[in-house]
């Protein structure tokens, strides 16, 4: 039976409807399910964290790699189904929890192999999930996830484009991002209103070191505040937000020091230049 048939059968026999509030769009195209797992380079001995296993279509393919699978699912109805579908799999642990409330450290600190994340994400919390996972970048080898195509475009965008923003910069300064393939909405049940895409985020320590960011927290706060009013001049947005307690003249001085025009807007500034601004702020605060 293919994933489409399995999904229809499970939903019919359990009188189940996909829950919009949990972002439930079940992926039923076997080529895409396999493609996600193949692109994540999982090996037996790795720990794969799956977020939102749902009815288990993606879980089925991850389990075939021989890796240990740790799946976090918020919907109790899904837990019963998953337990029934995967009774004979000793390499699967299912946890009935909201991924945003999980202390991942507890689960990954003693893992010997690589930790990888694979998921068809619930789209309503894509950004907080990605930022949460990046907090564990020292321990996570890769994050291969289905997201809305629009989010994939934002993450992979370049300065000056309308997609370029907080998500682009705060992901790209610490990781490499690849757009792997685009997925039509017909690959899901029910079909979402948007086109999707699979992306792979690979944390990259060298990239962060090359940028020479002295304080990641200052950098991320700077970027968030810079884009809080993206149409305004950067100096005004930063001064209005009270960035790190700096005065407007101090901010204007920093903008000049890093070689930017006084009229520059947030979306015109590269990741490298944000790193320089953050370091100037760091120096000023630690004088
Ligand atoms: N993996 C399945 C698939 O590909 O068919 C389902 C993917 S569906 C897009 C998203 C899944 O995430 C649903 O099963 C949903 O219940 C679950 N989910 C939603 N919010 C969650 C949260 N905060 N924590 C964990 N799981 C969540």
Measured from CB, residues less than 6 Å from any atom of ligand 1 are 22-27, 51-55, 57-58, 72-75, 78, 98-100, 120, 122, 125
pLDDT at 142: 98
94: Cβ–Cβ under 8 A, 6 or more apart, which residues?
53, 71, 73, 79, 82, 83, 86
Same domain, residue pair 248 and 278: yes
Same domain, residue pair 171 and 270: no
Same domain, residue pair 61 and 122: yes
Nearest Cα neighbor of 223 from 174, 286, 151 is 174
Same domain, residue pair 123 and 83: yes
Distance from the alpha carbon of residue 119 to the mean position of ligand 1, in angstroms: 8
Same domain, residue pair 189 and 250: no
Distance from the alpha carbon of residue 248 to the mean position of ligand 1, in angstroms: 44
CA 32 centroid distance within chain? 19
Its pTM stands at: 0.94
pLDDT at 239: 84
Distance from the alpha carbon of residue 260 to the mean position of ligand 1, in angstroms: 43
Whichever domain contains 257, its CATH number is: 1.10.8.100
Domain that holds residue 232: 212-285
pLDDT at 231: 84
Average pLDDT, the chain: 95
Question: In 16-151, which ranges are E strands?
Answer: 26-27, 47-51, 68-72, 92-95, 115-120, 140-148
- 36, 187 contact by CB (below 8 A): no
pLDDT digits (tens, 9 = 90+) for 159-187: 999 999 999 999 999 999 999 999 999 99
pLDDT at 32 over 70: yes
pLDDT digits (tens, 9 = 90+) for 197-223: 999 999 999 998 999 999 988 999 999
Question: In the chain, which ranges are E strands?
Answer: 26-27, 47-51, 68-72, 92-95, 115-120, 140-148, 175-183, 188-189, 196-203
Mutation to probe ligand 1, out of 21, 52, 190 (largest number of atoms < 8 A from CB): 52
pLDDT at 242: 67
pLDDT digits (tens, 9 = 90+) for 227-250: 998 889 999 999 877 677 788 899
Point out the domain boundary residue: 159, 181, 204: 204
């Amino acid at each position: 039976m293919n994933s489409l048939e399995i999904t229809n059968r499970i939903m019919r026999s359990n009188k189940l409807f996909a829950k919009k509030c949990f972002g439930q769009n079940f992926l039923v195209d076997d080529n895409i399910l396999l493609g996600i797992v193949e692109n994540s380079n999982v090996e037996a001995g790795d720990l794969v964290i799956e977020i939102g296993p749902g009815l288990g279509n993606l879980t089925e393919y991850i389990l075939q790699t021989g890796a240990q699978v740790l799946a976090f699912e918020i919907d109790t109805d899904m837990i019963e189904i998953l337990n029934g579908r995967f009774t004979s799999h000793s390499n699967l642990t299912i946890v009935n929890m909201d991924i945003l409330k999980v202390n991942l450290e507890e689960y990954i600190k003693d893992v010997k192999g690589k930790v990888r994340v694979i998921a068809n994400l619930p789209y309503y919390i894509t950004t907080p999930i990605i930022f949460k996972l990046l907090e564990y970048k020292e321990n996570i080898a890769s994050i291969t996830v289905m997201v809305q195509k629009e989010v994939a475009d934002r993450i992979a965008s370049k300065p000056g484009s309308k997609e370029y923003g907080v998500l682009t910069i705060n992901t790209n300064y610490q990781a490499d991002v690849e757009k792997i393939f685009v997925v039509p909405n017909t690959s899901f049940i029910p079909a979402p209103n948007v086109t999707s895409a699979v992306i792979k985020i690979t944390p990259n320590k060298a990239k962060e070191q090359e940028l020479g960011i002295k304080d990641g927290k200052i950098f991320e706060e700077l970027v968030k505040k810079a884009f809080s009013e993206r149409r305004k001049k950067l100096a005004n947005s930063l001064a209005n937000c009270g960035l790190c307690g700096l005065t407007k003249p101090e901010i204007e001085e920093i903008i000049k020091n890093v070689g930017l025009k006084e009229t520059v807007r947030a979306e015109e500034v590269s990741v490298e230049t944000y790193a320089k601004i953050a370091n100037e702020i760091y120096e000023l605060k630690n004088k």
